[in-house]
Structures are given as structure tokens and as C-alpha cells.
């Protein structure tokens, strides 16, 4: 184990160390973070491929004292280097996707365009490649008895990780914090769309017995039909309903109690940063009015910890500084959300 006797948690975060300025190697860390700089299918604004890098830099400013999990960092957090080949592939396929999306937005028929049909096929093959790549890396980490978290990238990125977990746990739930339902079928023709992640999970992985969604406020008829006809496999706490109940006197504690009660014993957290109020993530790919304050999510996590239920993994995605603002709060918020996720994972 890393000798932390000479490490000062109250000092400046050193760039020569790893995430949060911590002095752990991959072998020494209890929790390993996989960065996935991928944003091929984003529908509105790019920039989330830069998320892992921006979060890493901002994480050096995070104080290591967490009153919810004191000294959790001492168990060791380590972020793997971002794969440049994955980033390059994402950049190339993103250009292809922009051509496809632009054509569709203008009323074009992709099936009648040989060039764009080939590009669409290439994009879907790239999505499958990424899923397999994430699966192989996380499968190996889990075999080494590591706790694992994933940092996107867009929300398509954790499919391979959830698949790897499904080979270790035959019965678990996903707690999805998000503005979007992400239940679309191959949105815009992209099989591995960021808007299709939960559809793909539910279709491919029967080990995911339940999906509990919190904060959903942007969805289509097709997604609502899937929720309502899921026989309870999908339990959605819509943002509109949460806010209405609070306006009428319900407390956030009351609602969190119901959310935690809806979760089984093993939980995977999928956290899309746009589940927060967009003032906290103004550059995320598809911001939506509404959402949560950071402390509301921290309170939900505290209640989750108090329940004694097991967190088996997490992802944090759609954090973007993009090119939309020189002075962005997105990565700062993302780094603090990541630190909380890391701490509750090792608690």
C-alpha cells in the first residue's frame, strides 16, 4: 500500500500525483476510474469527450475531507490514463455523425444516400467497438477485485461496464439520475446512442432487474409507453412530480425515502450531470430546465449509505466544458460529484 504517512491532505493538490492529487498507483488503489473520452452520438452540443480531462484538472482543487465518508480517500482512488486512440476514434466518428444528423434534420432519407448509409454503419460499428473495449477493461478490473467507476464521455459509454458487472452480479438495479429517460430505440439511427443507453441495458442484460430513474423531465411518447408497460421494471420519479409534491408540502426526505425503498440490495449508479439544475452544468450536451441542487443529490446518497445497501459501481457522464464558456463551472461541479461517488463507493 502507498505510504501516505508523508502525504498532507491539507496541502495543494500535486499534478505529479493522480486524481484529487492522491498518491496512489493503480495496484494500490481500492477504486479504479476508467475515463472514456467518447461523444460520437451527442444530439445537440459536443464537448463531453473532454470531460475526463477537465474533471481530472478540477479535482486538484477538491478538499479531501468528506463529512459523509471521513478518510474514504485513504482507501485509494486512481484514474487510468485516457486512451488517445479512443479519443481520436470519437473525434472522427463525431464528424460522421454530424453529417448524418444534419441530413436527417433537413428531412433527408439516409437509406437513399449511399455515402451517409456507409457512415451510419461505421458509427454503429464504432459504438460496438467501444462497448467491447469498456467491457474488456472493466471485466479485468473486476476480476482483480477492484471497485470500478467510469467517467464519460457521453451517456452511451457505460454499457460495456454494466455488461461486465452483470457477469459478476446476477441481480441488481440501476439508479439513474438524469434529465432524460434514455429509453429511445436507436435514436437518430445510432444503435449505441447516448439517448438509447437504458433501452440497450434493459434489452441486453436481464440481470438488471430494475431501473429507478430520478429527475426525468425530457422524454417522448415512446419512452413513456416503455415505462408504463414495464411491469414495474422501470420506476420513474419524474422531476415534475417531485417538484409538485414539494410545492404541496412533501419534504425531500420523504421523497428520498421512497426512492431508496424502491431500490433492491445491489445498486449501480448512473449519473448524468444534466440531472442537476443546468446552472451547475451549463455546457452539458443537452441541458434542460429543472433538476436538482448538488446538496439534494448528496442527501440522497447519504440516505442510500444509511440504508446499508451495496453500491457495485457507478458512472458519471455528460460533464462538458466544451467551447461554450471560458470560465465554466461544469468540471468543478463534476469533480465534486465524482469525489462523492468515489467515497460512497468505498464506504
pLDDT in tens, 101-155: 999 999 999 999 999 999 999 999 999 999 999 999 999 999 999 999 999 999 9
pLDDT of residue 326: 57
Contact 317, 281 (CB under 8 A): no
Cell match 477493461: residue? 137
pLDDT of residue 240: 98
The mean pLDDT of 210-227, rounded to a whole number, is 98
Strand boundaries in 117-217, DSSP class E? 147-152, 172-177, 208-216
CA 176 from centre of chain: 9
CA atoms within 13 A on the CB side of 18: 22
pLDDT of residue 230: 98
Predicted confidence band of residue 327 (pLDDT cuts 50, 70, 90) = low
C-alpha cell recorded at residue 309? 445497501
The mean pLDDT of 157-180, rounded to a whole number, is 98
Region 19-346: CATH code: 3.40.800.10
Q: Is the pLDDT of residue 182 over 60?
A: yes
Tens-place pLDDT, residues 44-58: 889 999 999 999 999
Please measure the distance between the N-terminal and C-terminal CA atoms of the chain and give it in whole angstroms.
18
Q: Which of 259, 116, 138, 121 is nearest to 192 (CA)?
A: 121
Contact 283, 324 (CB under 8 A): yes
For 157, 199, 221, 262, 295, the CA distances from 292, given in Å and listed in that order, are 23, 24, 24, 19, 8
Angle between helices 114-143 and 84-105 (to 10 degrees): 140
Beta carbons within 10 angstroms of residue 222's beta carbon: 13
CA 92 from centre of chain: 22
The percent of residues in the chain predicted with pLDDT above 70, rounded, is 97
Least confident of 1-15, 131-145, 265-279: 1-15
Contact 18, 56 (CB under 8 A): no
pLDDT of residue 191: 97
Provide the whole-model pTM. Answer: 0.96
Amino acid at each position: 500500500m502507498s505510504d501516505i504517512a508523508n502525504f498532507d491532505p491539507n496541502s495543494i493538490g500535486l499534478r505529479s500525483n493522480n486524481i484529487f492529487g492522491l498518491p496512489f498507483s493503480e495496484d494500490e488503489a481500492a477504486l479504479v476510474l476508467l475515463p472514456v473520452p467518447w461523444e460520437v452520438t451527442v444530439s445537440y452540443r459536443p464537448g463531453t469527450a473532454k470531460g475526463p480531462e477537465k474533471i481530472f484538472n478540477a479535482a486538484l482543487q477538491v478538499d479531501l475531507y468528506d463529512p459523509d465518508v471521513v478518510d474514504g480517500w485513504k482507501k485509494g482512488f486512481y484514474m487510468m490514463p485516457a486512451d488517445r486512440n479512443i479519443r481520436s476514434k470519437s473525434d472522427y466518428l463525431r464528424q460522421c455523425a454530424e453529417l448524418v444528423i444534419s441530413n436527417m434534420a433537413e428531412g433527408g432519407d439516409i437509406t437513399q444516400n449511399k455515402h451517409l448509409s456507409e457512415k451510419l454503419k461505421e458509427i454503429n460499428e464504432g459504438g460496438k467497438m467501444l462497448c467491447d473495449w469498456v467491457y474488456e477493461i472493466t471485466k479485468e478490473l473486476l476480476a482483480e477485485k477492484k471497485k470500478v467507476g467510469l467517467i464519460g464521455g457521453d451517456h452511451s459509454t457505460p454499457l460495456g461496464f454494466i455488461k461486465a458487472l452483470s457477469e459478476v452480479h446476477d441481480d441488481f438495479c440501476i439508479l439513474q439520475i438524469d434529465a432524460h429517460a434514455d429509453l429511445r430505440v436507436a435514436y437518430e439511427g445510432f444503435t449505441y446512442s447516448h439517448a438509447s443507453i437504458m433501452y440497450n441495458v434493459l434489452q441486453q442484460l436481464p440481470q438488471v432487474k430494475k431501473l429507478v430513474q430520478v429527475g426525468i423531465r425530457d422524454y417522448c411518447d415512446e419512452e413513456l409507453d416503455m415505462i408504463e408497460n414495464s411491469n414495474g421494471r422501470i420506476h420513474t420519479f419524474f422531476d415534475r412530480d417531485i417538484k409538485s409534491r414539494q410545492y404541496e408540502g412533501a419534504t425531500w426526505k420523504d421523497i428520498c425515502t421512497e426512492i431508496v425503498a424502491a431500490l433492491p440490495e445491489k445498486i449501480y449508479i448512473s449519473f448524468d450531470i444534466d440531472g442537476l439544475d443546468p446552472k451547475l452544468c451549463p455546457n452539458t450536451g443537452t441541458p434542460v430546465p429543472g433538476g436538482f441542487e448538488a446538496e439534494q443529490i448528496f442527501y440522497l446518497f447519504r440516505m442510500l449509505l444509511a440504508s446499508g445497501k451495496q453500491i457495485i459501481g457507478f458512472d458519471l457522464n455528460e460533464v462538458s466544458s466544451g467551447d461554450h464558456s471560458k470560465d465554466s463551472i461544469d468540471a468543478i461541479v463534476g469533480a465534486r460529484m465524482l469525489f462523492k461517488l468515489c467515497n460512497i463507493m468505498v464506504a
